[in-house]
Amino acid sequence: MGRVYNFSAGPAMLPEEVLKTAQAELLDYHGTGMSVMEMSHRSKAFDDIIKKAEADFRTLVGVPDNYKVLFLQGGGWTQFAEVPMNLMKHHKAGYIVTGNWAKKAYEEAGKYGEAVKLASSEDKNYTYIPDCSDLPITPDMDYVYICENNTIYGTEYFKLPNTKGVDLVADVSSCFLSRPIDVKKYGLFFGGVQKNVGPAGCAIVVIRDDLIRDDLPDYVPTMLRYKTQADKDSLFNTPPCWQIYICGLVFQWLLKNGGLTAMAQKNEAKAKIFYDYLDESKLFTGTVRKQDRSLMNAPFVTGDKDLDAEFVREAAEQGLVSLKGHRTVGGMRASMYNAMPVEGVEKLVAFMKEFEAKHQ
């Protein structure tokens, strides 16, 4: 079949150019006679890789000097615990629960301190982003937590909550590098890279210096202290070397292709093609309130389970794969991350039209 258009929510598509570079460098990285997978994380070659990856990331995102960028293991889930362990100085934080991942983070935080549910969209199966202009936030909260793009339910914050001066913490796993952001608005943000950046096995954390504490309770494991990794530039122990290398190639690809502004335009164009058709379709409907629809993950249904299954099956035969929706939403989900070409979305929409015509 060759390469497919992979609409998986994650691990997800990577830019073909990046994969080809990795392929070309696989056996002999830049004359070292070895693969990045085989080299010491203390070698000069790897030191150059991680330093360049961080520098390129800072350029791409516009990370101010008073923020650290950390490349960590343990994915998104570990951050659900690491955030409260490190940031809950006064044992209290506010959580806005807009989906499965926000809920898991909220529950995890409750193990370390008081996690206050500030708002939730659970009443309507997380199909919208609640009004966050005047939440019951109190100054004794150490942070306010959001999941900025809800991978499963397909909602996205287009305006950050009013946190009333309390530091904002965001899980950006599934909108990572999809559009420009203003880093100063966050105390910390993190993302597992396997959604929109690189191969599974690495999370990137961006944290403001003053939130890195060395007065943590004894029980906090060495590896789960931001300070441990910040002091050693993510090289305290063996980092996820291969993941960092591929992320670095993706950063170079993004920089070469106009950075995050150009990426946002491309992602908006793709989402428009998809949602414009969805809005006029008589067979398919979106599950999310219009103004909250994610540019990255688009869930949709026909209303008939058997027809949904038929659609997913037939789409796969056309090289449009991983369109099955999450079990909690059902139907289909099209994830359109940075590496998904416009042509992939055009082909999906063309197939949907064809399918609709056949099933009127």
Task: Decide if 251 contacts 53 (C-beta within 8 A).
Answer: yes
Q: Using CA atoms, how far apart are residues 230 and 183, in angstroms rounded to an integer?
A: 18
Could you tell me the two tokens for 106? 């909220």
Nearest approach, Cβ of residue 169 and ligand PLP (Å): 12
- Residues 59 to 88: which contact ligand PLP by CB under 6 A? 75-77
- x-or-dash pattern for ligand PLP, window 301-340, by CB under 6 A? ----------------------------------------
Closest by CA position to 59, among listed 183, 168, 171, 142: 183
Q: Which is nearer to ligand PLP, 148 or 308 (CB)?
A: 148
With CB under 6 A as the contact rule, which of the stretches 62-70, 85-93, 167-175, 238-246 interacts with ligand PLP?
167-175
Q: Binding of ligand PLP at residue 103 (CB under 6 A)?
A: no
> Which residue from 67, 101, 186, 355 is in contact with ligand PLP, where contact means CB under 6 A?
101
* E strand or H helix at 71: strand 67-72
How far apart (Å, rounded) are the C-alpha atoms in residues 209 and 144?
A: 18
Which residue has the closest beta carbon to ligand PLP? 75
Q: Is 101 a catalytic residue?
A: yes
Instruction: Using CB under 6 A, pick the residue from 127, 155, 163, 173 that binds ligand PLP.
Output: 173
CB of 11 to ligand PLP, least distance (A): 9
The b/e string for 273-295 (b: 16+ C-beta within 10 A; e otherwise) is bbbebbeebebbebbbeeebbbb
Instruction: Map tokens 């191969």 to a residue.
Output: 199
**Per-residue x/- marks for ligand PLP, 187-226, CB under 6 A?**
-----x--x-------------------------------
Long-range contacts of 44-52 (CB under 8 A, 24+ apart): 46/241, 49/241, 49/244, 49/245, 49/248, 50/233, 50/234, 50/235, 50/239, 50/244, 50/248, 52/248
Question: Does residue 195 carry a catalytic annotation?
Answer: yes
Residues in touch with ligand PLP (CB under 6 A): 10, 75-77, 101, 147, 151, 171, 173-174, 192, 195
**Residues labelled as active-site residues:** 101, 171, 195
